[in-house]
Amino acid sequence: MCSQRPADFFSLYARGDLTADTIDDWIDTWHGGLDPRAKDSPLHTYLGLSPEEYALWVYDSDALPTILSARTTGRLLAELVRERLSQLQADHRPFDLTTVRGLQIWLDSHSETQPMTASVR
């Protein structure tokens, strides 16, 4: 009998098996220690995100499609984040100001030359 490790959140999200909002359930499970894998993994690993991707998601809870696009297209995550930031700034919606500032902070801390190391599983 072959024991296969259960997929992480992002792998399931990338396959279309989960929606973006279910990440909160995974985070609750990790915090509650309800999954044995949660004990031995940092949260970003448990979710299937790199530290950079997780930091982006913290700043922008709508970043999962951007992360998926970077992984599937091979484009730099910073390039896609810059495009998202430009769109948010062009929209001039006041409720996006916190996200705009967060994305600016994230971009300031990530060089465009950093390649994406994670891939869709």
Per residue in 65-116, pLDDT (tens digit) is: 999 999 999 999 999 999 999 999 898 887 788 999 999 999 999 865 444 4
Q: Which residues 6+ apart lie within 8 Å of 42 measured at CB?
A: none
Q: Which amino acid, one-letter code, is at 116?
A: M
Give the start-to-end residue ranges of the domains of the chain: 9-108
Q: Reply yes or no on whether the pLDDT at 2 is more than 60.
A: no
**What are 6-36's pLDDT values in tens digits?**
689 999 999 999 999 999 999 999 999 888 8
pLDDT category at 4 given cuts 50, 70, 90 is low
Structure tokens that stand for 69 in this block: 């696009």
**What are 46-57's pLDDT values in tens digits?**
999 999 999 999
- Per DSSP, helices labelled H in 16-96 are 23-32, 36-39, 43-47, 51-59, 64-73, 77-91
**pTM (2 d.p.):** 0.83
Q: What is the mean pLDDT of residues 38-62?
A: 95
